Amino acid sequence: MSRTVLAVLNRPSNSAAPRDPAAPLFSFADPLRPQLNVQDLGVTRGDGIFESISVVRGIPHALEAHLARFTHSAEVLELPAPDLATWRQAIRAVVERLDPVAEGFVRAVLTRGVEGDARPTGWVFASVSTDHSVARTRGVRVVLLDRGLRHDVGRTSPWLLSGAKTLSYAVNRAALREAARRNADDVLFVSSDGFVLEGPTSSLIYLRDGQLRTPATESGILEGTTQGDAFQWARQRGLGTGFELLTPIELGHTDAAWLVSSGRLAVPIRVLDGRPHPVRADMTADLNGYLLTREASVG
């Protein structure tokens, strides 16, 4: 058992040749030693996709939903289609080798590979998760930042790859550094035409008019797997769910709001652009309890 596990895929896609025709589908490698070609386009151009999958008590959460989004991201980037059977097997294999901790994560990465080689690169990395208990209970301070794109950019400019989970995270990291400069913990992006979108690493859900809602996925944002689970929780509690366009002013008048993601789960927003925001501690605890229980029972 180990606190970090790495598996390198020999043939990430059936549409491309394997690295070694005689080798198995994947092999374990030392995560502390160099494994990647410095000319790989995932490194030199950020030309690739990934999924981060929460692991609770040895079970990868919402695995099929993550694999479906992985496939969609590959389609958007016109990457060779992932061989899901191999990826699924590799993910389960690294999880089995991971230390038996309450929470961990798996990151699956597919790149275009070395330029001109025509063979994609793929690997699966598993590790023990950071402790997110303080953020889940105390909440986070969030600042609104202009993304500089209209909310309908996914329809008007598909080449901008909105809605795909790519390796190009430089803007997201820069946004989090700007949040720190503004004495905030996290960010919500706002479209140039004035609608709330998503966080750099999270989806937004909020309580409004007795319903749990989220910004419309047609707004050029990533479809959230944890957001989907949160909606299932809401429906089981008799709450309606829905998608809508929301302005920052409207968000400020919601009854509660959360950033949700596979790793942190549901984190309440306690400060929004410098103003206190209502926190429903009871709902937060119930929702996170549901997500943790669900994560331990699906895969």
> Can you say how many angstroms the Cα of residue 140 is from the centroid of all Cα atoms in its chain?
18
In this structure, the answer to whether residues 156 and 56 fall within a common structural domain is no
In this structure, the answer to whether residues 187 and 115 fall within a common structural domain is no
pLDDT digits (tens, 9 = 90+) for 218-260: 767 888 899 999 999 999 999 999 999 999 999 999 999 999 9
Specify the pLDDT at position 265: 95
Specify the pLDDT at position 160: 85
Number of domains in the chain: 2
In this structure, the answer to whether residues 124 and 259 fall within a common structural domain is no
pLDDT tier for residue 168 given thresholds of 50, 70 and 90? very high
pLDDT digits (tens, 9 = 90+) for 252-281: 999 999 999 999 999 999 999 999 999 999
Structural domain contains residue 175: yes
CB 9 within 8 A of CB 90: yes
Residue 286 CA neighbour count, 13 Å, CB half: 10
Which amino acid, 198?
E
In this structure, the answer to whether residues 152 and 181 fall within a common structural domain is yes
In this structure, the answer to whether residues 68 and 190 fall within a common structural domain is no
Structural domain contains residue 299: no
Specify the pLDDT at position 216: 84
In this structure, the answer to whether residues 138 and 279 fall within a common structural domain is yes
The two three-digit tokens of residue 227, written as one number? 């957001």
Q: What is the Cα–Cα distance from 78 to 13, expressed in whole angstroms? A: 12
Higher pLDDT among residues 149 and 74, named by residue:
74
Q: What is the 3-class SS of 35-81, one letter each residue?
A: CCCCCEHHHHCCCEEEEEEEEECCEECCHHHHHHHHHHHHHHHCCCC
pLDDT digits (tens, 9 = 90+) for 111-137: 999 999 999 999 999 999 999 999 999
The position carrying tokens 């070694």 is: 20
Domain range for 216 is 133-293
* pLDDT surpasses 70 at 295: no
The position carrying tokens 């999924």 is: 51
Q: 67 by DSSP, 3-state: which?
A: helix
pLDDT above 70: percentage of residues in the chain: 97
**249 contact partners, CB below 8 Å, separation of at least 6:** none
In this structure, the answer to whether residues 65 and 153 fall within a common structural domain is no
Structural domain contains residue 25: yes
CATH of residue 83:
3.30.470.10
* pLDDT surpasses 80 at 299: no
Specify the pLDDT at position 298: 39
In this structure, the answer to whether residues 277 and 138 fall within a common structural domain is yes
pLDDT above 90: percentage of residues in the chain: 86
pLDDT digits (tens, 9 = 90+) for 70-101: 999 999 999 999 999 999 999 999 999 998 88
In this structure, the answer to whether residues 157 and 268 fall within a common structural domain is yes
Between the two ends of the chain, the Cα-to-Cα distance in Å is: 21
Max intra-chain CA distance, the chain: 61
Specify the pLDDT at position 15: 94
- Cα dihedral value 202, 6, 19, 88, nearest 10: -60
In this structure, the answer to whether residues 100 and 117 fall within a common structural domain is yes
In this structure, the answer to whether residues 174 and 189 fall within a common structural domain is yes
In this structure, the answer to whether residues 154 and 284 fall within a common structural domain is yes
Specify the pLDDT at position 221: 81
Specify the pLDDT at position 81: 97
Structural domain contains residue 298: no
> Can you say how many angstroms the Cα of residue 195 is from the centroid of all Cα atoms in its chain?
21
